[in-house]
Amino acid sequence: MAKMLNDSDCMAAELRKLLELGASERISRNRCFDKFSTPFGRRLFAYYRTCMSLKKEIEDPKRNHRIRLHKNRGEMFMLEIINDPIAYRRTATLPVEVRTYFEDMLKVDKQL
């Protein structure tokens, strides 16, 4: 169990670094092949792509949607994007350490 916790802590820390780096530089599996070639790296890249897709959807000015951040369930939390006029709902379960990344993004979005 201790290895599992360390693995998830490491995953969350690495994911946070990638998200911060992704703001200034494009991350790709081909450019960073060694980093993403292991099972851990493939999971990390999948989480990264999910977060970037959610960010793009949240920041899209053409969409009028509500975003909910649900309470933490252990080491994970759920982010939900809802657009009632078109009956659209997207949910994603992510590591709790990236919750602040989305909270900060939503605060900036509200200020604009």
Over the chain (112 residues), the average pLDDT of each successive run of 10 is 54 81 70 75 86 87 83 84 86 86 75 42
Q: How many other C-beta atoms lie within 10 A of the C-beta of residue 30?
A: 6
CA angle 37, 94, 1 (to 5 degrees): 75
Write down the pLDDT at residue 1: 37
| pTM of the predicted structure, to 2 decimals | 0.74
**Predicted pLDDT of residue 8:** 62
